[in-house]
């Protein structure tokens, strides 16, 4: 039993880098600390505890993590500093040596952060507490809202795929998950808190069920029955795990939105082989075709990596041609970053930083064209939009069922409300459509 008296009236600041899963987990850590008596620091206050949840997907991510730690140590002198997340699991010794860091927690320990805070007395030097990746077994549940309208439900953690460029299996361990029953209970709790939208998150969510003998499709069907939740969105799901039965179920579902995010990574089969991906372009194209056949207005987001080792100019041109021909809505473009210990380092052909940048810009331009064309097709339509509270002086915004961002005149009484909106023209920077609320 942890004595929480030391935490009463203490303050904490949280900083998260990386994916939606990290933000979900940070929110859960915050909830644990709040229940122990710790409140979130107010603007201008000095925090007693600093929690940094790190990412390590690229070399730049590592650098941003170090910068964030240095900045928080400077902003909150004397605060007890805890660092967790992927960078903490992969490089615990390096993180522990950063001035001001007290405790570094690995993937197995982050869910039990409270027990590593002690009496909040600063350490003379940082202490790292991690578990070897092969021994990571625990699944720390997380269903959290943070400051956003939507909830993020962590359904799965870890990955068994070991793509040649990726360190995530080393940072998060093997694929594992909680039970469907536990996920349903968390969704019911979110509904009881007023939640209307839940995003299903994880590292490889289509792999759900490895540790419980269940399937992701079983999970989707069970969550669809939860009363009170009006919208579910499936975050990134591998194309080889996005089955036709899932696509068809979503097309019939009242609660699962016509919105998919499917990682492609490269539109060239030779590069996909070098990446050790588990599909080819033909399979990917068939999934996009299937989605559009049953949900013509579905939003499809796609991850693409440019400049991986082995991606020759010819291979990149093949990829561009393939992607241009896909009926998708948006590209999330990443420049390849070399990660220590990955198999990709054995591939000879190296793309220069300048060429990576040019390729990235080219795909980002293509992405803007596809997104704006998708938005333009919906101008003049009336669609239900889940509104989100706006910052002072900015228009209120929300998203349609198929994830079109819509801006309306600010009215915070509409926060977390689904309202019918007539979609008008683009806003100034073409990142949203202007809308008129229909009473």
* pLDDT tens digits for range 206-235: 999 999 999 999 999 999 999 999 999 999
Q: What is the per-residue pLDDT for 392?
A: 81
> Between residues 31 and 313, which one has the greater pLDDT?
313
pLDDT at residue number 147: 64
Residue 109 pLDDT:
95
Query: What pTM did the predictor assign?
Result: 0.92
Model confidence pLDDT, tens digit, residues 5-47: 889 999 999 999 998 899 889 989 999 999 999 999 998 899 9
> What pLDDT digit, counting tens, does each position of 93-137 carry?
999 999 999 999 999 999 899 999 999 999 999 999 999 989 998
The answer on pLDDT for 256 being more than 80 is: yes
Query: In what side-by-side order are the strands of the sheet with 330-335?
Result: 259-265, 299-306, 330-335
Contacts of 9 (CB under 8 A, 6+ apart): 37, 39
What is the pLDDT, as a whole number, of residue 7?
92
Cα–Cα distance for residue pair 120/157, rounded to 1 Å = 29
- Quote the pLDDT of residue 59: 87
- Average pLDDT for the chain: 95
Q: What is the mean pLDDT of residues 427-432?
A: 96
In this prediction, residue 412 carries a pLDDT of 83
Strands (DSSP E) along 127-209, which ranges? 127-129, 142-144, 151-154, 156-157, 176-177, 197-201
Q: In this structure, are residues 420 and 384 in contact, taking their beta carbons and an 8 Å threshold?
A: yes
Residue 39 CA to residue 8 CA, distance in Å, equals 9
Q: Please check the confidence at residue 144 and state whether its pLDDT lies above 70.
A: yes
The mean pLDDT value for 326-346 works out to 95
Residue 20 neighbours by CB under 8 Å, 6+ apart: 152, 199, 201, 235
Domains, the chain, with CATH or none: 5-131 (3.40.50.280), 142-374 (3.80.30.20), 381-437 (2.40.50)
């Amino acid at each position: 039993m942890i004595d929480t008296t030391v935490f009463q009236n203490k303050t904490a600041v949280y900083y998260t880098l990386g994916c939606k899963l990290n933000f979900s987990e940070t929110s859960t850590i915050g909830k644990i600390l709040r229940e122990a008596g710790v409140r979130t620091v107010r603007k201008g206050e000095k925090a007693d505890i600093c929690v940094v949840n790190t990412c390590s997907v690229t070399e730049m991510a590592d650098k941003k993590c170090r910068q964030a730690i240095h900045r928080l140590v400077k902003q909150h002198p004397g605060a007890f500093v805890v660092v967790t997340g992927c960078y903490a699991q992969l490089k615990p010794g390096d993180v522990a040596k950063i001035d001001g860091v007290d405790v570094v927690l690995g993937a197995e320990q982050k869910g039990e952060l409270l027990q590593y805070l002690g009496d909040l007395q600063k350490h003379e030097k940082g202490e790292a507490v991690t578990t070897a990746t092969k021994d990571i077994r625990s699944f720390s549940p997380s269903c959290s809202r943070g400051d956003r309208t939507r909830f993020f439900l962590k359904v799965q953690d870890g990955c068994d795929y070991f793509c040649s460029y990726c360190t995530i299996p080393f940072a998060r361990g093997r694929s594992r998950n909680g039970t469907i029953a536990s996920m349903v209970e968390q969704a019911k709790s979110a509904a009881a808190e007023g939640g209307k939208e839940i995003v299903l998150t994880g590292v490889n969510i289509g792999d759900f069920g490895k540790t419980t003998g269940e399937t992701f499709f079983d999970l989707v069907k069970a969550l669809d029955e939860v009363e009170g939740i009006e919208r579910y969105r499936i975050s990134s799901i591998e194309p080889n795990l996005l089955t036709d039965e899932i696509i068809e179920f979503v097309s019939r579902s009242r609660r699962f939105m016509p919105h998919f995010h499917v990682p492609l990574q490269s539109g060239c089969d030779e590069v996909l082989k070098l990446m050790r991906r588990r599909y080819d372009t033909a399979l990917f194209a068939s999934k996009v075709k299937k989605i559009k056949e049953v949900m013509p207005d579905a939003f499809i987001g796609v991850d693409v990596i440019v400049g991986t080792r082995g991606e020759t100019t010819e291979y990149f041109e093949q990829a561009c041609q393939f992607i241009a021909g896909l009926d998708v809505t948006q590209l999330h473009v990443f420049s390849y970053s070399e990660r220590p210990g990955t198999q990709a380092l054995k591939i000879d052909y190296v793309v220069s930083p300048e060429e990576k940048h040019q390729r990235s810009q080219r795909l980002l331009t293509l992405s803007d064209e596809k997104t704006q064309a998708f938005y333009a097709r919906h101008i003049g339509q009336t669609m239900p939009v889940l509104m989100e509270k706006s910052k002072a002086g900015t228009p209120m915004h929300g998203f349609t069922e198929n994830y079109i961002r819509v801006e309306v005149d600010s009215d915070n009484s509409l926060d977390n409300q689904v309202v019918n909106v007539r979609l008008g023209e683009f806003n100034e920077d073409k990142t949203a459509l202007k809308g008129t609320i229909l009473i």
